Amino acid sequence: MLMLALGDSITYGYGATTPEHSFAKLLQKQFAKNVRATLHVQAKPGWTSRQLNRSLRELPACIFDEAEIVTLMIGGNDLLKAAPFLLTGSADRIAQVCERSREEIEEIVECANRSYNTFALATLYNPFPNFGLAEQITNQYNDMLRAVAARNGLVLVESQKSFRGREHDYVENYRNGLFRDIRLFRNPIHPTDAGHHALYQAFYRALQRARARERAKAQRRRLNRQTRRA
């Protein structure tokens, strides 16, 4: 089984003390308990949804065709790079950033999604929970992600809910939960080992529920065919 992990620095493994503690690697190891599971990570620190989308053109089609599980967590850099505009609190500017990201993410889904794979899309957690505007922006962005997941029949992974109230444990270099905590180095953004583990658990639970539903549907189809033949 091939697992394709798409994203930015979080999927790449930033914040984890070793690559083995990244959420993508933890997922692979969990699935490898039952089947031979390999992992391809298409992620780099600093990538926006547009950069990730463009990078997919470099991948051979067989990666997408053979992937049974696809994970996607992207958008944090879209928001960070647009911060000078978003911090004005303009609803129109927030909507514009969300729309630009949506177009890129829809293209990513179109490229990587297959009728036979299980595709999980994660919402973003907010590393600045005590800054009201960051909450507003993150919520609006996540509403866009939820709409993309619903429209394309994807598995939704609510990382925002997994991190809620645990940011001091789950976010590396967490200070006060305020945007002014941003520094040139050691920014409070990436998950700690505990945060990566929480992401792994959220992805795994959501994927397992979705795969169980698919197995149940397949079983019902088999039973229906047998009943018709009888």
CATH number, domain of 99, equals 3.40.50.1110
Tokens 């190891």 sit on residue:
29
pLDDT surpassing 90 at residue 228 = no
Q: What is the pLDDT of residue 140?
A: 96
- Could you tell me the pLDDT band of residue 196, with boundaries at 50, 70 and 90? very high
pLDDT surpassing 70 at residue 225 = no
Q: What is the pLDDT of residue 62?
A: 96
pLDDT surpassing 90 at residue 2 = yes
Q: What is the pLDDT of residue 222?
A: 66
Q: How far apart are CA 211 and CA 205, in angstroms?
A: 10
Q: What is the pLDDT of residue 214?
A: 76
199 contacts 125 by C-beta, under 8 angstroms: no
CA atoms within 13 A of residue 44's CA, in its CB half-sphere = 11
pLDDT surpassing 80 at residue 226 = no
Q: What is the pLDDT of residue 212?
A: 80
Q: Which two tokens stand for residue 108?
A: 């990513």
Query: Considering its fold, how many domains does the chain have in total?
Result: 1
Instruction: Report, as an integer, the average pLDDT of 43-64.
Output: 97
Mean pLDDT rounded to a whole number for the chain: 93
What are the tens digits of pLDDT across the range 153-175? 999 999 999 999 999 999 999 99
CA atoms within 13 A of residue 224's CA, in its CB half-sphere = 6
CA atoms within 13 A of residue 63's CA, in its CB half-sphere = 15
Q: What is the pLDDT of residue 230?
A: 59
Domain residues for the domain of 213 are 2-229
pLDDT surpassing 90 at residue 88 = no
pLDDT surpassing 90 at residue 79 = yes
pLDDT surpassing 90 at residue 43 = yes
The CA angle 69-63-19, to the nearest 5 degrees, is 65
